């Protein structure tokens, strides 16, 4: 199965549009379980939904990889002979100008989500939903490693599950990445904790303890050793995520990067989570009322500061103009010692059509902060609309299918290893 190079968070947006083009009640013949896209031929393969009923999509257990094509042919594809049956065509490109006008978006920069890892997706989802009251916002299966290393530099099939409290374009969330055959991650010392507001702190802590998680004060150590600070939800605040706390060794370098490159401000004085006079802490963000800022905690004497793939990635939704300024700053000036991990990419979402302006394209780059934290910067004009379309509350994750997928991937890895060993042996003879 071919996998698109298109950033995978645009997946379900295309699925929703394509589904709306199929008359209610019309079955999708030849549909299997997964969804993916051949970006060259423009073919949806192994569709994961079975039928569009009058009430909406039925099935739809995973997202799809949206390639740079505006019109796709839907097809069912099975590995044995790859039997294909085209069903329908529909325009699925994002009309940025129309949608932005309809929603009246201000396009202010905002923290969008934090990427965390999981070796047991069900366990991670159960913790976040049962202890912290989150919901699954969408789920996608990917047949190859992410080209911009969303799941780390691991060339294996993986899945992405967005979990939070509100639609992605309206609120912050977590991106759970699960890579098939990876059974452990080494925790780093950079990601300190994620603060979440709940209505009943005692109840949430008690539930965490019941499920066997360590609780120290208001701090819970969840799956994969990620720590969550559970606090009372502030009155009048809609956003449940409060802040993300990071350890840094050199505050001046970190401040230089977040201020000079990303255009953030020092919000420490207005933060209810910082004690007065604590010079070792800075709260950085854009100042939005519902924002989830970064809390930088300096510990210059720590000899154990080391980041791992476990630390994940910070994602920011930034207007295109500001994104390009930030990217050039990192490339040319390297504030605080920052650098580029993946160069700025621009993907057309309406190929073959004369664009009214450059905002019709998705822009994305991955930069690295001075301490080594990865930061994904993506153009909000396209990203926010796409993730709103991808919103899929109540999506059901097919755990039985995932178990079989794990067996299939392990088998494939073993077969490849055996072939490589045989080739190496033959080469010596």
Closest CA relative to residue 282, chosen from 319, 333, 247, 235? 247
Nearest to 378 by CA among 9, 37, 3, 5: 9
Buried b (16+ CB within 10 A) or exposed e, 371-405: bbbbbbbbbbbbbbbbbbbbbbeebebbeeebeeb
Higher pLDDT: 310 or 55? It is 310
Quick one: pLDDT band at residue 427, thresholds 50, 70, 90? confident
CA end-to-end distance (rounded Å), the chain? 35
Q: CA 427 → CA 418, 420, 422, 423, distances in Å?
A: 14, 11, 9, 6
Q: Are 12 and 389 in contact (CB under 8 A)?
A: yes
Indicate whether 429 belongs to any domain: no
Q: Say if residue 88 is in the same domain as residue 109.
A: no
pLDDT of residue 262: 97
The whole-number average pLDDT for the span 277-287 is 90
User: In whole angstroms, what is the distance from residue 17 CA to residue 93 CA?
Assistant: 9
Q: Are residues 137 and 88 in the same domain?
A: no
If asked whether residues 132 and 76 sit together in one domain, one would say no
> Mean pLDDT: which of 8-12, 109-113, 352-356 is highest?
109-113
Of 92, 118, 137, the domain-final residue: 92
| Run of H or E including 146 | none
- At 6, list the tokens: 């298109």
Write down the pLDDT at residue 217.
97
Q: Among 1-5, 232-236, 278-282, 392-396, which is the least confidently predicted range? A: 1-5
User: Is residue 394 very low, low, confident or very high in pLDDT (cuts 50, 70, 90)?
Assistant: confident
306 inside domain: yes
pLDDT in tens, 37-79: 222 222 222 233 222 222 222 333 333 333 322 222 222 222 2
- The Cα 74–Cα 39 span in angstroms is 13
Model pLDDT, residue 107:
65
Contact yes or no for 351/69 (Cβ under 8 A) = yes
* pLDDT for the residue numbered 24: 37
Kindly state whether residues 83 and 126 are assigned to the same domain: no
Residues 6+ apart with CB under 8 A from 132: 196, 198, 204, 228, 230, 240
**Cα angle vertex 406, ends 402, 180, to 5°?**
95
Mean pLDDT value across the chain: 78
Q: pLDDT at position 356, please?
A: 55
My answer on whether 108 and 86 are in the same domain is no
- Please report the pLDDT score of residue 424 as a whole number: 86
Q: Is residue 69 part of a domain?
A: yes
- Last residue in a domain, options 71, 92, 113: 92
Structure tokens at 43: 């073919």
For residues 179 and 271, state if they share a domain: yes
Q: Please tell me the total number of residues recorded for the chain in this structure.
A: 429
Residue 414, domain member (yes or no): no
Q: Could you give the number of structural domains in the chain?
A: 2
Res. 355: pLDDT tops 60:
no
pLDDT, position 419: 87
* Burial per residue of 90-127, b for 16 or more beta-carbon CB atoms within 10 angstroms, e otherwise: bebbbebeebbeeeebebebbbbbbbbbbeebeebbeb
Closest CA to 180 of 159, 162, 161: 159
Instruction: Let me know whether 173 and 220 are in one domain.
Output: yes
Residue at which a domain ends, from 65, 92, 119:
92
Same domain, 46 and 108: no
**Listed range (95-104, 156-165, 225-234, 253-262) with the worst mean pLDDT:** 95-104
Which of 388, 340, 347 minimizes the C-alpha distance to 365? 340
Residue 340: CATH number of its domain = 3.10.180.10
Least confident of 130-134, 151-155, 281-285, 314-318: 151-155
Low-confidence winner among 65-69, 335-339, 355-359 (lowest mean pLDDT): 65-69
Q: What are 177's strand-pairing partners?
A: 117, 160
Q: Do 315 and 233 belong together in one domain?
A: yes
- Quick one: DSSP state of residue 98? H
Please check whether residues 188 and 49 belong to one and the same domain.
Answer: no
In-domain check, residue 415: no
- Name the band, by pLDDT with cuts 50, 70 and 90, for residue 357: low
DSSP notation for 359-379: GGEEEEEEEE-TTS-EEEEEE
Kindly state whether residue 170 falls inside one of the protein's structural domains.
yes
**Which segments within 77-190 are labelled E, that is strand?**
89-91, 110-118, 135-142, 158-164, 173-179
Quote the percentage of the chain above a pLDDT of 90: 60
Gap between the Cα atoms of 324 and 377, Å rounded = 10
| 2 within some domain | no
Beta strands per DSSP E along 257-337: 265-266, 281-285, 294-298, 313-318
For the cut 90, the answer to whether the pLDDT of residue 227 exceeds it is yes
The arithmetic mean of pLDDT across residues 396-404, rounded, is: 95
* Domain extent at residue 304: 103-390
Domain for residue 427, yes or no? no
- Do 108 and 72 share a structural domain? no
- Do 58 and 175 fall within a single domain? no
């Amino acid at each position: 199965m071919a996998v698109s190079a298109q950033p995978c968070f645009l997946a379900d947006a295309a699925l929703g549009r394509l589904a709306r083009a199929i008359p209610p009640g019309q079955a999708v013949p030849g549909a299997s379980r997964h969804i993916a896209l051949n970006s060259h031929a423009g073919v949806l393969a192994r569709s994961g939904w079975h039928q569009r009923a009058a009430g909406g999509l039925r099935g739809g257990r995973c997202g799809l990889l949206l390639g740079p094509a505006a019109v796709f042919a839907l097809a069912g594809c099975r590995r044995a002979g790859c039997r294909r049956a085209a069903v329908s065509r529909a325009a699925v490109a994002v009309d940025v100008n129309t949608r932005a006008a309809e929603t009246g978006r201000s396009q202010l920069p905002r923290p969008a989500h934090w990427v965390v890892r999981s070796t047991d997706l069900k366990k991670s989802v159960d913790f976040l939903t049962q202890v912290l009251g989150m919901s699954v916002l969408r789920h996608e299966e990917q047949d190859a490693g992410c080209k911009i290393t969303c799941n780390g530099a691991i060339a294996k099939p993986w899945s992405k599950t967005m979990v939070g409290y509100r639609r992605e374009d309206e609120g912050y969330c977590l991106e759970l990445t699960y890579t098939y055959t990876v059974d452990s991650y080494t925790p780093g010392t950079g990601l300190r904790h994620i603060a979440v507001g709940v209505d009943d702190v005692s109840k949430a802590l008690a539930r965490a303890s019941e499920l066997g998680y360590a609780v120290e004060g208001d701090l819970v150590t969840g799956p994969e050793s990620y720590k969550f600070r559970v606090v009372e939800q502030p009155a009048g605040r809609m956003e449940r995520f409060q802040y993300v706390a990071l350890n840094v060794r050199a505050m001046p370098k970190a401040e230089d990067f977040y201020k000079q490159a990303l255009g953030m401000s020092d919000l420490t004085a207005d933060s209810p989570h910082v004690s007065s006079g604590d010079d070792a802490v800075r709260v950085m963000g854009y100042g939005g009322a519902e924002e989830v800022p970064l809390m930088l905690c300096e510990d210059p004497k720590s000899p154990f500061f080391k980041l791992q793939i476990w630390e994940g990635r910070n994602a920011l939704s930034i207007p295109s103009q500001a994104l390009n300024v930030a990217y050039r700053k990192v490339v040319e000036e390297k504030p605080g010692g920052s650098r580029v991990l993946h160069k700025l990419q621009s993907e057309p979402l309406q190929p073959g059509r004369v664009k009214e302006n450059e905002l019709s394209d998705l822009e994305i780059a991955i930069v690295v902060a001075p301490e080594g934290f990865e930061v994904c910067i993506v153009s909000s004009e396209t990203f926010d609309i796409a993730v709103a379309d991808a919103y899929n509350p109540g999506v059901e994750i097919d755990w039985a299918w995932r178990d079989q997928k794990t067996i299939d991937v392990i088998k494939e890895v073993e077969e490849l290893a055996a072939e490589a060993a045989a080739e190496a042996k033959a080469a010596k003879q």
